[in-house]
Amino acid sequence: MKIAIVCYPTFGGSGVVATELGLELARRGHEVHFITYRQPVRLALLETNVHYHEVNVPEYPLFHYQPYELALSSKLVDMVKLYNIEILHVHYAIPHAYAGYMAKQMLKKEGIRIPMVTTLHGTDITLVGNHPFYKPAVSFSINKSDYVTSVSESLKNATYELFKIKKKIHVIPNFIELKNAGDLVLNPCKRSAMALKSERIITHISNFRKVKRIPDVIAVFNLIQQRIPAKLMMVGDGPEKVKAEQLCEQLGIQDRVIFFGNSNEIDRILSYTDLFLLPSETESFGLAALEAMAWRVPVISSNSGGLPEVNFDGVSGYLSDVGDVQEMVENGVRILEDDAVLEAFKERAFENAKKFDISAIMPLYERIYEKALKKQ
Ligand code: GMT
């Protein structure tokens, strides 16, 4: 099949999922066209069957806001015609589903029918899309999609609750490529750059937005490290990062915390990690938690959104109510204080991650594409 993937090219979960999906589809012989404003960060090299088409938005002083949706829908029309693309798969409803629908309409006028699959990732529904300024357009474009998928049951239910959606929503969870886990050559020198042998390594990875509850990450770590020698790896960048650095200074733990910023070394960091923290306010899935588990890392998370579908209480880690720092600390200490307990949690976290192996999830997307093509 010839598939266009529209996504955000950034470090955010939706962009990562879209990119990994496209790369795997290409490996499986499909022709994949990424259409976005920058080369996706996880698309380091263009591989066989992978194409990238940049959407350019010319700056014009008359416009207070440059019209990205317009440029995107025009680009979609041009690329569909040029490469005979058969399916549009848009990730994140805003504004991709809206632009995709416009492209479909323009193509229809020229006698070209192309199905659109929309994947909902979370913040497009629970945070941004739900805003009254966007809601009618988001509802409209979801209803106009030929197939709609969501990354968890929880997100599916939230979508039905928050919007007037007539479409069936198919749940296709996020996935992980396990075959790479273990491929890295583990080098003790690299670990020693992060922590002493006697210290546990605790990690948090996110885009440092409010929804991630960064102060909780630091509070949990601070209380754990008072009982168990540990270091905290903070990976990612975003609006809460400076405040987080200040908080570490106030607590006097700045020498125990490393801020990496956006890093391409996530696999290496996770491979040395003993515990992953994700105390988010909400999380439609929590891809970062799954990536941690694939590296045999147990997870302490909140129990909101789709997290209970990924992290299992007492099995792959522990879940607590949002903001329950004290319980998260107790659970973290329980996992970290005993080597045998930690090893058992690591093993179960990895077993859990296996359920989300890319090879199990990919056919679910292919089936949706096949059905969408037949419906045309
Ligand atoms: O919150 C993020 O990390 C970014 C955000 C995005 O839109 O890219 O992630 C969302 O999509 C991911 C991939 O499906 C999910 O794993 C994240 O849970 C989800 N974030 C939220 O729901 C807050």
Same fold: 2-175+358-375 with 178-354: yes
Q: Taking a C-beta distance cutoff of 8 angstroms, is the pair 206, 173 a contact?
A: no
Q: For a pocket test of ligand 1, which of 127, 212, 281, 285 has the largest count of ligand atoms closer than 8 A to its C-beta? A: 285
Please list the residues that pair with 232 across neighbouring strands: 202, 257
| Residue in 75, 104, 72, 74 with CA at minimum distance from that of residue 88 | 104
Interval 156-191: pLDDT, tens: 999 999 999 999 999 999 999 886 555 555 565 578
| Distance separating alpha carbons of residues 108 and 36, to the nearest angstrom | 22
CATH top class, domain 178-354? alpha beta
Tell whether ligand 1 has an atom less than 6 A from the beta carbon of residue 129.
no
The residue contributing the CA closest to ligand 1 atom 14 is: 121
Cα 40 from Cα 49, distance rounded (Å): 16
**Predicted pLDDT at 130:** 77
pTM for this prediction: 0.93
State which residues of the chain have pLDDT below 50: none
Residue nearest to atom 7 of ligand 1 (CA): 14
Contacts of 152 (CB under 8 A, 6+ apart): 171, 173, 284, 285, 305, 306, 309, 310
Ligand 1 contact, 149 CB (< 6 A): no
Q: Which fold has domain 2-175+358-375?
A: Rossmann fold (3.40.50)
ipTM: 0.96
C-alpha dihedral, 144 to 146 to 151 to 156, nearest 10°: 60
Find the 285 Cα to ligand 1 centroid distance in Å: 7
With H, G, I as helix, E, B as strand and everything else as coil, classify residue 335: helix
Residues 6+ apart with CB under 8 A from 312: 352
Two tokens, residue 83: 């490469």
| Exposed/middle/buried for residue 352 (C-beta within 10 Å: 0-12, 13-18, 19+) | buried
Tell me the domain boundaries of the chain.
Answer: 2-175+358-375, 178-354
Counting from 1 in the atom list of ligand 1, the atom nearest the Cα of 281 is: 23
To the nearest 10°, the Cα dihedral for 151, 153, 158, 164? 90
The finding on whether 152 has its CB within 6 A of some atom of ligand 1 is no
217, 245 contact by CB (below 8 A): no
Binding site membership of 203 for ligand 1 (Cβ less than 6 Å): no
| Element at 205 (helix H, strand E) | strand 200-205
How close is the Cα of 214 to the center of ligand 1, in Å?
15
pLDDT at 186 (0 to 100): 58
Phi, psi values for residue 213, rounded to 5° = 50, 60
Cβ atoms within 10 A of the Cβ of 242, count? 11
Question: CA–CA separation, 121 vs 127, rounded Å?
Answer: 11
Supply the residue whose CA is at minimum distance from atom 23 of ligand 1.
283
129-150 confidence digits (pLDDT tens): 778 889 999 999 999 999 999 9
| 12 close to ligand 1 (CB < 6 Angstrom) | yes
Q: How far is Cα 355 from Cα 343, in angstroms, rounded to an integer?
A: 19
Cβ neighbours of residue 144 closer than 8 Å, sequence gap 6 or more: 97, 101, 104, 116
